[in-house]
Structures are given as structure tokens and as C-alpha cells.
Structure 1
Amino acid sequence: MTRSPATPLAPPKARRRLRETAALTQTQLADRVGVTPGTVRAWESGRTTPRGRKREAYAKLLKTLAEEETARQARQEQEKQEEQAKRNQEREQKQAQKQDQEGLREPELKPEPEPEPKPEPVALTPAQAFDALYAFSAPALVRQTFLLTGRREQARESVERAFQAAWERWPEVARDRDPVGWVRATAYEYALSPWQRLRPRHRHPEPPPADPGDRTLLNTLLRLPPRHRRTLVLYDGVGLDLPETAAETEASTPATANRLLRAREAVAGRLPALADPQVLHLRLAELASNERLRAAEPPTVRRGGERRARFWTRAAIAFTVALIGTTALTVRTAPTHYEPPVSPGQAVRGVPQRVAPGALSDEELELRQKLRDQLQDGPERLSPRLE
């Protein structure tokens, strides 16, 4: 789940003052936080209060603006001091020139102060940036995915697969406005895939939560349709706005609102104490926090993704080579000229039927005896004799 919703925020008037001091419009601040200008207007007027991830992002931005304002004030004070020191130096130089003209002192040459070297920004390598993103968001994503599936290992595997896909497309993900949202959408799609039911591991249920209340809430969530469950987790669990939830679930805003209302109605029908969205948000956070969910180390995930990519690359190469070999063999053994097909056989009529052998007649017996008595190999061999 996301961090605690009790992240401290400045008062509404202070929020507006910080934004105006930084010369930011409501549209510019909304783009940096990832919300609409109307939402920022409501936050600054005090009509609504941000929740979940948006609250953390807004509080972090306000803290940055406050630090920039403090730094700006310190810089202005330093500039004033430098200006005053410059004026004093010019005054002293004028007095020295006047004394030189009067012959009271000899001019002195003062060396100019060397400018201080500015620290160069430290650029992160792609692997370091990926490891930082994984360490920051992986634990929360595993807990969120657990609410969708109710399976600890499946939640961990889904998040790892999502980060492996992000590492394969890292140039694209690194430039994305919300890299965590990209990984979260990929992990949710993998976790809620219908193909997960065909895996042998899915046939063996995992032990339920120890607390009866957590077990009841988890069973209630798993009874919801996958789309309703995902919408409820994103809005009441993660803390996204309705348009952002609709964009991540690839649905229209009215359809997303309808799914959210139906999911809340189903949860409230089974657990009336969770009819309040704030209470539901806290219970979802407690349910995910009570489970011992682990995430692998970033280098392990990166190496696993690279091994998987190498395996599929080699498999594709092997399949291509086999296809080329099969094609070459077919071309080599295929006939080079036309061979007419063998005409179909025709039935022959008028042939007498073959009669089975029986007893011989007297004539046949006589003929057989005659053939046996006579020489079968011709006349006898001639041999010379003396007369």
C-alpha cells in the first residue's frame, strides 16, 4: 500500500503562497503533481484534502517549494551583504584614490578573489536509476498486488515480472511522467491474467491471514470481479483520482465511477463497518501491512530479466535457424518437373471365378499317372558305345 495518509501538509493559505512565491500557475503545479488544475484549486481553498500517493507527492512538492523559498531568501540576504561589501570596497577605493592624489599613500594592488567551483550534478547510471526506482516502489506494489490476488508469491512474481519488463524498455520508462504507474499497470495486468488459473501453483491455496477481520476483508475483495477489485484498490487503496484510475484501467470516467460504487456497495453489504471510504482506506492499508511480503533485491531482478531476455532471444534464433533449414531441405528435395498422377484403377469384368480344388476325375487321374511315368526332362543322355 501507499504511505500513511497522515503526511503533514501546510495550511491552504500557505500552499497558495508557496505556489505564488515560486511563480507557478495552478496548471503548472497540477502537471508536476499529476492531477487536474481543478483539484489543485480545491486543495488550496481547503474544500478537499489529497490522499494516498497524491498527498505524498503534493507534500513533497510543497516542502521543495518551501526549501527553495528559504534558499532564495538566504541568497537574497547574501546578495545584499555582497552588495553592501562592494559598496564599502568602492568607498574605500575612492578614499584611497583621493589619498593617492594628495600623495599621502602608495596604491596597493589587491588580487581578485577566485570564484568558487560549482559542484557538478551527479548523473546516475541506468542500473542505479532502476535500483532506486525498485527500492522505492517495489514493497508497496507487492502489497497492492496481494490485495488483487490474495496470493503472496503471485504478487511478488507479478511485480518482479513488471520490473523486468521495465528494465527491457528502460529508456522509455525512464522518460515516462509516472514510472511507478507504468510498472503498477504492468504488474496488475500480469497478476489478473486469466492464464494464471492454468498454472499448477494456482491449484494449491495459500494460508489465509491470521486475523479473522483481515481474512473476511480479503475474501470479500476476492469475490469482486477483477475490474471492480482493481478500481477499488487503485482509488481507495492507492489514492488515485478518478480520471487517473480510469486511465490506468483503460475505461471511461463514468464507467470507472460505476465500478467503484458497485465495489463499495458489495464491500459494505458484507462489512457494514467499511461503508466509509476513509475507514476502508485504512483497513486496506492495515490488511496489506499485516502480511509478511518480501521483494527480491534489485540486482537479482535485473539479472533475472536479462537471463529471460537472452533465453527468448536464443529460442527465437534457434526457431529461425530450424525454419531456414526446413525450407532449404524442402527446396532441395522438391520435384523439379511435373509428374502426372496415377490414373485410378478400373474394375475388370467377364473373368470366371476361381473354383476351389476338389476330387480328381478318372481322366485326370489317368493323365497324371501318364505324366509321372514319362520322362519329364527329355530323352536320356547319349553315351558312346563300342560295337
Structure 2
Amino acid sequence: MVTTTQNPAGPLPPPNERRRLRESRSLTNAQVAARIGVSRSTLRAWESGRRVPHGREGEAYARLLRALAAPAAAEDTSTAEAPREQPTAAAPALAPAGHTAVGSPAPLTPAQAFDALYAFCAPALVRQTYLLTGRRELARESVERAFQLAWQRWPEVALDRDPGGWVRAVAYDCALSPWHRFRPRYRHPEPPPADPADRALLSALLKLPPSYRRTLVLYDGVGLDLPETAAETEASTPAAASRLTHARAAVAARLPALSDPAELHRRLLELGSAEQVRAAKPPVVRTGTERRNVFWTRAAIAFTVTIVGATTLTLRTAPTHYEAPIAPAQAVEGVPSAGVMGPLSPDQQALRAKLRAAARGPERLVPEPG
């Protein structure tokens, strides 16, 4: 049973009320967690009642809830503690059109919100994707493709609790697609990093299975906790823990200096930052998405017109009534084959007599030689 605790900042409301207060001000888990300085999984545990807030974070959470419950919540939420730097590249605060986020002077347009998300997440996401693939161009292409899909489905992505996580999952799926091996431009490996240590670490990563590599990058590279890593890799928490253990052991077997998770985390960040992999500008991604949409719309219209034309031609040229098929020919037995002109043989003479008797008509006139 969950009980309300007492702390120096005052009593906390029940767990369900905590979530209601946050949603009443259109705040996401990422926004509130960043204001308090905790991870999103910790905030979800506080809202579900599985964990009790305590310490400085608990005091900041209590002050934030009181500010949300107060009439002037928009002005009071600024008293919460400043967020500390998080290892996870969380998405910035996004407000859908027609809604004003707490503390923001005006709602962002869809293009402005998309550009803010892209500018915040794309640079780090390209470096993370490079750790998965070892290919600079494929990393940039995968991130741009993920943001293009996000712009196509922006009403859904903007209301997601973690827009950055949505884009990251799509980018990782695009980067790890097995179909890239059939593309001519990706059949040959790219030049490895110049630093021997970076080259050895990237080689150890690329020798891992894709699922193990993704789990290791999410947990030790991005900084997600185990439940979030399991959810993003579509695996159970024990399966994600097993993949992480085996991936760390494989990397440590090749590079014993990286057996410490903290050192591995530092080296992954250094490897991603050492490569000059840059993403395109947000307007380029948006315009590319719009051109792609126009192309596929026109292609769909042209295909539909072709189908309609073919159907109309078929209806105009198809027969309107049933025509019985012609019966197959049958062979007549007993008819002699055509031979060379000359006197009739006895068998032929007998056949002629038989035919004449069956006809019972006048004898055919035969010209006599003069």
C-alpha cells in the first residue's frame, strides 16, 4: 500500500493527483524530469507510487506540484531547481498548435517546434547512429529519414511523451536495416577512424550482433536505464540485461581497459564526438519531406489513372454476349487417301460400287473420249 510521506517541503498529493497536475499544464515526463533533475523512469515511478520522492529532488518535486496546483502556476513553476545535465538526449519542450506550454510566451508553430526538436536531437543522434553502423553517410541518412517520418506524422509525434525517443527509435531501425547490404554504395567499408584506440573500439562494436550493439549504445552510450532500453529495443527487461552483459563481456574481451562501465561510457562518447558527422539543416529536411510527399502523391494519382483507364478499355472491348465455342473436328474413317491419278484398284472399284448403291441416285455423267 502506498502512503503519503512527509518531507521538509510539505506533504505530497496522491500518485494519481501528481500525474493529473502535470497533464493539466500540458507538461511531459521529460519536461518535469528535466526541471527537477531526475530521469523519466524515476518520475514515472513517483507518479505510479512505486517509489517515494526524497532528498533535494523530492523537495523540488513537492514545490513544483504545489506550483502546478496554485492558480498562478505559470509564474510559480520557475522556482523549481534548475535541471542538471542528463546523459540522455531528451527532447525540448514542445507545445502543439493552440496550446501554450508553461512558462512560454506563445505557442510554437509546427515548423518551429520541429526545428527545435531537430536542432536539439539531431547532432547527438547522428553520432550515436555512427556507433551502430560505423558509416558516416549511413548515420546521417538514417537520422534525416527518421526526422522526415517525424515531420510526416508530426501531429502524433508532437503529442508523444518523448518525441526525441520516437525519432531515435526510428533512426536506429533505419540504420540497422539489413537491406543496406544490397545497396552498391554500402557494399564496401568506409575508412576507419584515424586514432588506433577509436578504431579498435569501433571494430569491437561492429562485431557484436545488432541487438547487442543497440542495447550497449542505448545503455552505456546514451545513458538510458534498463527498463527504457528494454522498451526501445522491444525486449523484456531480463533479455535486455542479458544482452548488455554479453555485449560488455565481448567488448572487454577485446579491450580489457574498457571492462569498467564508466570508462566504456566515456570512450563511447569520445568515439562519437571524434568523427565529424553533421546532419543537414532543419529546413532542408522539412522541404525534402514535402517534396517526397508531393512525388508519392503524384505517383499514386498516376497509378490510379492508369488503373481506371485500363479498366475502362477492358469494359469497352470485352464481348457483351456469350459465344459458343466451335466444336472440335472429328476424323472420318474409311476414306482413302488421295493418290496418283490412274486406273482404280479392285478395292477402289468395290468402294465406288458401294457408294453408288448407297446414294441411290442417277449415275454421274462421265465424259467419254472422242
Give the TM-score of the pair, scaled to structure 2: 0.68
Match of 1:361 in 2: none
Of residues 173, 193, 209, the one that matches 1:225 is 209
SS, match of residue 224 in structure 2: coil
Matched, 1:316 2:279: no
Q: 1:265 to 1:305 in 2, by over 3 A?
A: same
Q: Deviations over 1:67-98 (max 9, x none)?
A: 968859xxxxxxxxxxxxxxxxxxxxxxxxxx
Q: Deviations over 1:162-192 (max 9, x none)?
A: 1111111111111111100000011111111
Q: Deviations over 1:111-151 (max 9, x none)?
A: xxxxxxxx982221111111111111100000011011111
1:67-146, aligned counterparts within 5 Å?
A: 71=79, 121-146=105-130
Amino acid corresponding to residue 291 of structure 1 in structure 2: E
Kept in 2: contact 1:163–1:183 (CA 8 A): yes
Compare relative contact order (CA 8 Å, sep 6+) and give the higher one, 1 or 2: 1
What is the aligned length? 282
Match of 1:329 in 2: 313
Match of 1:247 in 2: 231
Matched, 1:35 2:41: yes
Kept in 2: contact 1:228–1:259 (CA 8 A): yes
1:253-292, aligned counterparts within 5 Å?
A: 253-292=237-276
Amino acid corresponding to residue 167 of structure 1 in structure 2: W
SS, match of residue 341 in structure 1: coil
Q: 1:351 to 1:216 in 2, by over 3 A?
A: farther
CA distance in 1, matches of 2:206, 2:278: 21
Of residues 150, 172, 175, the one that matches 2:159 is 175
CA distance in 2, matches of 1:275, 1:196: 32
Kept in 2: contact 1:163–1:301 (CA 8 A): yes
Identity of aligned residues (%): 65
**What is the alpha-carbon root mean square deviation over aligned residues?**
3.4
Q: Deviations over 1:228-270 (max 9, x none)?
A: 1111111111010111111111111111111111111111111
Q: Deviations over 1:97-117 (max 9, x none)?
A: xxxxxxxxxxxxxxxxxxxxx
Amino acid corresponding to residue 193 of structure 2 in structure 1: P
CA distance in 2, matches of 1:22, 1:291: 49
Amino acid corresponding to residue 41 of structure 2 in structure 1: V
CA distance in 2, matches of 1:298, 1:121: 23
- Where is the helix percentage greater, Structure 1 or Structure 2? 1
Stretches of structure 2 that go unaligned for 5 or more consecutive residues are 1-5, 20-27, 34-39, 65-74, 81-102, 342-370
Q: 1:295 to 1:70 in 2, by over 3 A?
A: closer
Amino acid corresponding to residue 263 of structure 2 in structure 1: V
Kept in 2: contact 1:149–1:192 (CA 8 A): yes
Match of 1:302 in 2: 286
Match of 1:214 in 2: 198
Match of 1:362 in 2: none
Kept in 2: contact 1:22–1:69 (CA 8 A): no
119-128 vs 29-38, greater mean Cα deviation: 29-38
- Deviation of 1:341 (Å): 2.3
Q: 1:356 to 1:315 in 2, by over 3 A?
A: farther
Q: Deviations over 1:339-367 (max 9, x none)?
A: 2223334445445455689xxxxxxxxxx
Matched, 1:341 2:325: yes
- Deviation of 1:325 (Å): 1.0
SS, match of residue 322 in structure 2: coil
1:149-228, aligned counterparts within 5 Å?
A: 149-228=133-212
Stretches of structure 1 that go unaligned for 5 or more consecutive residues are 1-15, 47-57, 73-118, 358-387
- Deviation of 1:299 (Å): 0.5
